Amino acid sequence: MFRSNVLEEICSRIIYICNKHSLKDGICIHGPILKSGFQDNLPLNNGLLSLYAKCEGVEHARRLFDKMSHRDVVSWTSLLSAYVRVGNYEEALRLFDLMRVSGERPNEFTFSNSMRSCTGLRDYTRGMKLHSCIIKHGFGSNPVLCSGLIEFYSKCSSLREAVWVFDDMVNGDTVSWTSMISSFVNAGKWAEAIQFFTRMVKEGVFPNEYTFVKLMSACTFLGFGYGKLIHAQLVVWGVKMNVVLKTALVDMYAKCQKMDDAMKVLRQTPDQDVQLWTSVISGCTQNSNFREAINLFKQMVANNVFPNSYTYAAVVNACSSAHDLILGKQLQKQIIMVGLEDDVSVGNALLDFYTKCSNDAKDVPQVFDEITHPNVISWTTLIAGLSKHGHKEDCFLAFLEMQFSGLRPNSFTLSHVLQACGAIQCPTEAKKIHGLIVKTNADVDIMVGNALVETFAGLQMEDCAINLARQLSNRSIITYTVLASKLNQMGRYERTLAILSHIREDDLKIDGFIISGLLSASANLCAKKIGKHLHCYSTVSGFGKYISVSNGLIDFYGKCRCVSDAQKVFDEMSKPDVFSWNSLIYAFALNGHITSSLSTLEDMRLAGIRPDSHTLSAVLFACHKGNLLDMGLEYFHSLRELYDIKPQFYHYNLLVDLLGRAGRLEEAVSLIKSMPSGVNDGPVYKKLLRACKLHGNVILGEEMARQALDHDPSDFEIYDILANMYDEAGRFELGDNVRSLMKEGGLRKTSVCSSQVLCC
């Protein structure tokens, strides 16, 4: 008997030691215990169950549990905790149900693990039933269980119930108070979290480091003022500044755009770990201090702190924003060397990096293929990268593969796929994606709804786009702004102005962006009454100070022949930008005030505003309007050289027309030859053909006709000009030959009519 007790004590001691060390050692002593005849010894079996539970040997624990002839609450709870530890919450709850059927009474640890399972599953129904069971068994005021219940209700978005649980507690401890503060923070009720902390302090409950970690998280949204107050409270309460708390402090300062304070915390911390460094590097990236983030990463490595996946993700993001392709590729080599290329956070950062910085279309898919378990962000970035590099069709294939993998696209994914539909003018794919969006109810997301409107409008399906905008349940002023922009691009100005009535029906507040769109439509229609109403509204509502609205008003008044009003709007602007100056130059030119137009250019240069391509267009338009050929050529060459402006088709077209009207045809030909490749020069040749007809230069006219027909052999107007040129030169036979060719080719004047594609 004595020997048996000694052996039992020895086995218990060995199991206790193994509990502190490893599963392997525990398995090794399990056999000898069985051989010693203690297989039915409940305390020893419970010890082994506890060992397996702690060392994640849940299969071993279940086999032992099933073979046990006697079980008590410790046996059931040990196995249940093993399932919870490995995240098998469903099996844990099934075991809890079996335990209740067996008649064994749960204790507080059983309930705690069961509640963790309900929290992990976000299973509100079973959690409510478990709560009732906890109360029934007399544990309703247990601080540990109450903290678990608070977390459960918080994770299930039931903050009211969490507050009820807390208020029913007799004596809330630091853990339960912190759980409640955490619940408010997670629910986005940051002010309430601070108020709860104040109440906690008044009731004499001491906060700990985890309390302040949660409060710092709230301060990132409430602002720096609250952050300073909480930091002061941390000092007052004498809470030990561990690395976790310092990391939270750094994160708060970074998100409040106080990087000097964040750096101060880093410098004052002797035991700097990877989390602290990563937080500072991420903060620099968030605050657009990309070079500082990269330098900090180098300092961190020099200090022998090894980066983790989050560090690499943060510094790769900095390289993306800094467009540092060389360093980004060097980092990728390091990432491969340490074996983190398959990590999803690192992979996503690399995907974003190559999407933004690389012109090689192969880079993005190659990085994606290295990610072992791509998530929705990975797929979305892949789709965005393929779209950017012109592989629009591959976007749809990636989108299909994503769905086959079981992942549900988010609003960003759908927006990128819809953009690809618009880019390649593919209404069929757009309709398919629209169907998927409706089926999954994804159009309740305002971003997706607006992307749908923009896509269908961009596909020239204006009726469909308008109907979609009207049908969106959460349509906003942004929806109508997107629609107005697209309608303006299509030249459907009347329909743009009709949006005003929809805005009034929906009782939406007009903002500066929609006013700009409506002013653009009013300008192109010369709708003075509507434009002036918009001007009055923008002045009263304060939107007149928006530079986009002021620029729209200058354009509106210029096109409506009210140039003095355009000048007045410009004079009232505090800081006119290049668009403001361009609009005023064009307004003067359009209304025949050529001298004022060109003097405005000089004023613009004196004001330190750098002219751009649109400035050159406006100035050449003024010279064209005033028939100032030599001055136009001078501005063309001087602005190109001084401001590195690359001339576009519109610039060449105006100058060729000026040279042609002046009879300087050879100069016009030389100018056309100087045009860069890629410029659509067909219309320029046709314009010079007209000039040849005007000045009777048949030989050059024939050459211009050939060049123009090479670009568009079916253009009736080219043949017509050529035939008339021959007639005016007295070469009637050649003119008749051209007309015969026109008849044989079936060429005739056509009136262009727009057809509206119906959808849905």
What's the mean pLDDT in 310-319?
93
Q: Is the pLDDT of residue 56 over 60?
A: no
What's the mean pLDDT in 5-13?
51
Q: Give the pLDDT score at 676.
A: 81
What's the mean pLDDT in 539-566?
94
For 401-434, the pLDDT digits (tens) are 988 888 888 888 888 888 887 777 778 888 888 8
Q: Give the pLDDT score at 742.
A: 82
- Coil vs helix vs strand at 333: helix
CB 217 within 8 A of CB 186: no
Please tell me the least confidently modeled range out of 166-180, 333-347, 738-752.
738-752
Q: Is the pLDDT of residue 376 over 60?
A: yes
b vs e for 535-552, b when ≥16 Cβ sit within 10 Å of the residue's Cβ? beebeeeebbebbbbbbb
In the chain, the percentage of residues whose pLDDT exceeds 70 is 91
Cα(312)–Cα(332) distance, integer angstroms: 9
- The per-residue DSSP string of 158-169 comes to -HHHHHHHHHH-
Q: How many of the other CB atoms lie within 10 Å of CB of 287? A: 17
Cα(580)–Cα(117) distance, integer angstroms: 62
As a whole number, the mean pLDDT across the chain is: 86
Residues 6+ apart with CB under 8 A from 257: 224, 287
CA distances from 684 to 672, 706, 716 (A): 8, 13, 16
Q: Give the pLDDT score at 19.
A: 52
Give the tokens for residue 96: 């809890």
In the chain, what is the straight-line distance between the N-terminal and C-terminal CA atoms, in Å?
Answer: 88
**665-760 CATH choice from 3.40.50, 3.30.70, 3.20.20, 1.25.40:** 1.25.40
What's the mean pLDDT in 354-382?
89
Give the tokens for residue 683: 């219309």
CATH 1.25.40 maps onto the chain at 665-760
Q: Is the pLDDT of residue 554 over 90?
A: yes
CB 484 within 8 A of CB 497: no
Q: Give the pLDDT score at 68.
A: 82
Give the tokens for residue 373: 């378990």
Burial class (CB in 10 A: 0-12, 13-18, 19+), 20: exposed
What's the mean pLDDT in 387-396?
81
Q: Is the pLDDT of residue 436 over 80?
A: yes
Banded pLDDT at 136 (limits 50, 70, 90): very high
Nearest CA among 11, 95, 5 for reference residue 45: 11
- The dihedral region occupied by 648, where left means phi > 0, alpha psi between -120 and 50, and beta the remainder, is beta
Q: Is the pLDDT of residue 33 over 90?
A: no
Q: Is the pLDDT of residue 667 over 60?
A: yes
Q: Is the pLDDT of residue 15 over 80?
A: no
What's the mean pLDDT in 110-137?
93
Please tell me the least confidently modeled range out of 22-31, 39-48, 121-130, 617-626.
22-31
Most confident segment among 385-399, 580-594, 711-725, 744-758: 580-594
Q: Is the pLDDT of residue 636 over 60?
A: yes
**Could you tell me where the DSSP H helices lie in 560-648?**
563-571, 578-590, 594-606, 613-625, 629-643
Q: Give the pLDDT score at 754.
A: 27
pTM over 0.85? The answer is: no
For 453-474, the pLDDT digits (tens) are 988 888 889 899 999 899 888 8
- Please name the amino acid found at residue 123: D
What's the mean pLDDT in 513-526?
95
Q: Is the pLDDT of residue 757 over 50?
A: no
Nearest CA among 409, 410, 316 for reference residue 367: 316
Nearest CA among 594, 605, 531 for reference residue 565: 531
- Coil vs helix vs strand at 668: helix
- The per-residue DSSP string of 93-144 comes to HHHHHHHHHHTPPP-HHHHHHHHHHHHHHT-HHHHHHHHHHHHHTT-TT-HH
Q: Is the pLDDT of residue 30 over 70?
A: no
Between 754 and 260, name the one with better pLDDT.
Answer: 260
Banded pLDDT at 12 (limits 50, 70, 90): low
- Please name the amino acid found at residue 48: L
Long-range contacts of 223-231 (CB under 8 A, 24+ apart): 223/256, 224/253, 224/256, 224/257, 224/258, 226/194, 227/252, 227/253, 227/256, 227/258, 230/194
- Please name the amino acid found at residue 523: A
CB 92 within 8 A of CB 84: yes
Q: Give the pLDDT score at 439.
A: 81
Q: Give the pLDDT score at 519.
A: 96
In the chain, the percentage of residues whose pLDDT exceeds 90 is 49
